[in-house]
Chains A and B, each alone.
Chain A
Amino acid sequence: MKLTLTGVLAASTAILVTSVAAETMTIGITQNNVGVDSYQTTYEKAFIAAAEANPNVEAVVLDAGGDVARQIAQMEDLIQQEVDAIIIWPTNGEAVIPAVRKAFQADIPVVVTNSNIAEQGFDFVKSFSGPDNITQGSRSAEIMCDKFKDMGIEAEARVVQISGQPGYTTAIERAKGFEDRLPEVCPDVTLVETQPGDWNREKSQQVMEAFLVKYDDIDGVYSGDDNMGVGALNAAKAAGREGIIFVGATNFAVGYEAMAAGEYWGSIYQSPVDDAEAALQTAIDILNGADVPFLNYFDTPKITQDNMGDFTKPVF
C-alpha cells in the first residue's frame, strides 16, 4: 500500500516537473572547486545572480570540490533529474569525458565552461564557453612589444617568461600565444628563458631571483598570471632592479594595484562575471535553438597603466 502511494506521489511529481519544464529551462552546472580561489567564488555568485535575473531559467548549482569522482556523480545526478542542459567546469579534462558522453546519449546538451575538456570528448559537447588563452598570450606579447617601442628598445630588449603549472592547458596555451606572437610583432626582442612558476607567487619570486642573478640585462617579464607576475615584481624590487616591464595575464587585484602604483605595466582583463554570464547565455542560446559556435569565446581585453581607468579593480 505504502509502495503504491509512493509510486503515485513520484508520478505526480514527475508530471509537475515536466509541466514546469515546458515553461522554464532547467540548467544544471557542476563547477570545479568553488572556494579554492576568489575567481571561482565570484564566478559562482555571478552565475546564480544571472540565473535568478532570468525568469525562464531554473538553475541547479553544484560544486565538485576539485574531486573528479564527485563531479562524475554530479553529472549522473543531473542526467537523472533530466535537466534541459548541463554546464560543466571540468575538474579534469580527460576523466570527465565518459560522464559527458552519458549526457550526450541522454540528449542533454553539454556546455563546457572556463577550461575545455580533452579533444576526444569534443563530439559529445555542444559548445565551449570561456577565455581564449592563445589570444590572451598573443595580446600580452603585443602589450609588451608596444611598450618596448615606446621606450625605443624594441631592437635589443631581452625578456624572460614565468609560465603556469606545467601540463595545464591554460599554461601551455598562454605560453604558446606569447611565444608565437612576440617574434611577429617585435622580431628583434629575445625571449632568453622560460621557467614555470606553478601559478604560485612565492615560487615565481624564487624563479625571478635566480633570473636576476643569472642575467644582468632583463627588460621584460611575461608571467602566465598576475599572481606570479607580482611575485616576480617583488623579487626585482628586493634586488633593486628598476625599469623592467612586467606584463601578466588574468588581471588580479594585486596586479591592478601594482599597475596603479606604476610598478607593473599591463595584463589581460578576465572577469569571472563575464565568464559565468557567457556560460549561462551559451546554454540558453543552445536551448532556444540558436546557432552557437563550438568555441564560444568571451572577450578578454588588454589592460595597461594607460587604460586601467576603464576597468574596475578585480575582486580576486
Chain B
Amino acid sequence: MAGLTKQGVAGFLAKQGILVAFVVFMIVFTLANPRFIDIDNISGVVRSSAILGVMALGVTFVVIGGNLDLSVGSMMSFSTIVVLDLHDKIGPALAIPAMFALTLCLGAFIGILVGYLKLNSLIVTLGMLSAIHGLTLTWSGGKNMDIADKEGTWFAVFGQGSILGIPTPILLFALVAAVLGIVLSKTPFGRKIYAVGGNGTAATFSGVPRARVVFLTYLVSSLCVAIAGLMQASRSLGSQNTVGQGMELEVLAAVILGGASLLGGSGTIFKTVIGVLILGFIQNGLLLVGLPFYVQYVVTWVIIILAVWLDIAAKRGRLLSPIA
C-alpha cells in the first residue's frame, strides 16, 4: 500500500491516463450490454483491429520522427490487391515476397522525398495517397480481385488461421508490436527517432543522420502496411480496390489517441496499441448497444475527444488548462 500515496496515484494517472480512459469505456459498455465482455467478442474485436493496429504501429515510428503518413490507407489497398492478383498468377510463396518488395519500394520512395529531399511530409504523403490509388486501379483495371480456389490455399492462414486457439492476426499484431516496441525503446535507432522528432536541428548537430532516420521510419511504415495488406488479403481472400480507403485517418486517430504528439518526439508502441484497442472497442461497443449509425458517428468523436481530454487532464493533474 505504500505505493498508493497521493503522489503515486497522480504519477500513475499522469503516465497512464489513456489506460484509465480505456478501462472506463470497457466498464460502461459492459454495463450497457454484458455480451460486450464475452471472450468471443473481445477476440473478434482484437482480431479485426489487428489490421488497423499493425498499420498504426508503423505510423507511430513516422509520427515520433516528426512527420505524417497519410498514404498508408491507399498503400494497404495496393498491397492487398497486388498479393491477391499474384497469388493466382505465381503462387502464394512467390506472391508474398513480391508484394513486400513492391510495398517497400513505395515506402522507400516516400522516405527519399521526405528524408533526403526534405519535402513536407503532409504534401508528399497526401499526394502519394492518390498516386498509389491510381497505381492500384491501373494494376487491377478496376476489378475486384478474388482468389479462385478459396478452399484449397494455405494463404488463408494469416487472416483466418489460429495457433493454440488464438487467431493469427492477433498473434501477428502482438509480434510486430513486441519487435517494434523493443526497436523503439531499446536500440540506438529508436533513440535517434525520438531525437530527430524532438529537435531535428539539435539531433543533426549531435551527429544523428537525420535524413537516414526519417527514411527508415517510412520504410518501417511500409513494412507494416505490407503485413497489414497480407492479413487483409488472407482474411477475405478477395478485395475491392478501395479496401484501405479512409484508414489513414483512423490510423492517425489511434496513434494520437495513444498520446503520440503530432509535433514528433513522443509516443510509445504500447500506447498506440491501447489507442487502437480503444477505437476498435468503441466501434464494436456502439454496434452492440445498437445506436443508429448517425448517432455512432457523433458518439465516436465525443469518446475520442473525451479520451484525449482525460489523458491530458491526468498529465497536468487538473481538468482545465492552467493557462485560461
* B261 part of interface (Cβ distance < 8 Å): no
When chains A and B are docked, how far (Å) is the Cα of A34 from the Cα of B38? 44
* A13 part of interface (Cβ distance < 8 Å): no
Instruction: Known contacts A201-B239, A205-B236; decide if A35 and B141 are in contact (CB<8 Å).
Output: yes
Q: Is the beta-carbon distance between B41 and A213 smaller than 8 angstroms?
A: yes
Chain B residues whose C-beta falls within 8 Å of the C-beta of A166 in the assembled complex: 293-294
Chain B residues whose C-beta falls within 8 Å of the C-beta of A210 in the assembled complex: 41, 284, 287-288
Instruction: Write the chain A residue with the least CB distance to B287.
Output: A210
A:109-162 near B, CB below 8 Å:
none
Q: Is the beta-carbon distance between A213 and B44 smaller than 8 angstroms?
A: yes
- Report the interface size for chain B: residues with CB under 8 A from the other chain: 30
When chains A and B are docked, how far (Å) is the Cα of A230 from the Cα of B48? 16
B:27-83 near A, CB below 8 Å:
33, 35, 38, 40-41, 44, 48
Chain B residues whose C-beta falls within 8 Å of the C-beta of A202 in the assembled complex: 232, 235-236, 243
When chains A and B are docked, how far (Å) is the Cα of A207 from the Cα of B288? 9
Q: Is the beta-carbon distance between A201 and B236 smaller than 8 angstroms?
A: yes
* B97 part of interface (Cβ distance < 8 Å): no
When chains A and B are docked, how far (Å) is the Cα of A238 from the Cα of B160? 8
Chain A residues whose C-beta falls within 8 Å of the C-beta of B146 in the assembled complex: 253-254
Q: Is the beta-carbon distance between A206 and B143 smaller than 8 angstroms?
A: no
Instruction: Known contacts A205-B236, A209-B44; decide if A41 and B143 are in contact (CB<8 Å).
Output: yes
Q: What is the distance, in angstroms, from A253's C-beta to the closest C-beta of chain B? A: 7
Q: Among A37, A40, A206, A214, which residue has its beta carbon within 8 angstroms of that of B144?
A: A37
- Per-residue B-contact encoding for A217-248, CB less than 8 Å = 1, 0 else: 00000000001001100100011000000000
Q: What is the distance, in angstroms, from A176's C-beta to the closest C-beta of chain B? A: 16
Chain A residues whose C-beta falls within 8 Å of the C-beta of B288 in the assembled complex: 210, 213-214
Q: What is the distance, in angstroms, from A212's C-beta to the closest C-beta of chain B? A: 9
* B137 part of interface (Cβ distance < 8 Å): yes
Instruction: Write the chain B residue with the least CB distance to A167.
Output: B294
Q: Is the beta-carbon distance between B236 and A36 smaller than 8 angstroms?
A: no
Instruction: Known contacts A195-B293, A196-B293, A227-B240; decide if A213 and B144 are in contact (CB<8 Å).
Output: no
User: Which residues on A are within 8 Å of B, measured CB to CB?
Assistant: 34-38, 40-41, 166, 193, 195-196, 200-202, 205-207, 209-211, 213-214, 227, 230-231, 234, 238-239, 252-254, 316
What 6 A-B pairs come out closest when comparing CB atoms?
A: A210-B287, A35-B142, A38-B143, A41-B142, A213-B41, A209-B44
User: Which residues on B are within 8 Å of A, measured CB to CB?
Assistant: 33, 35, 38, 40-41, 44, 48, 137, 141-144, 146, 160, 232, 235-236, 238-243, 283-284, 287-288, 290, 293-294
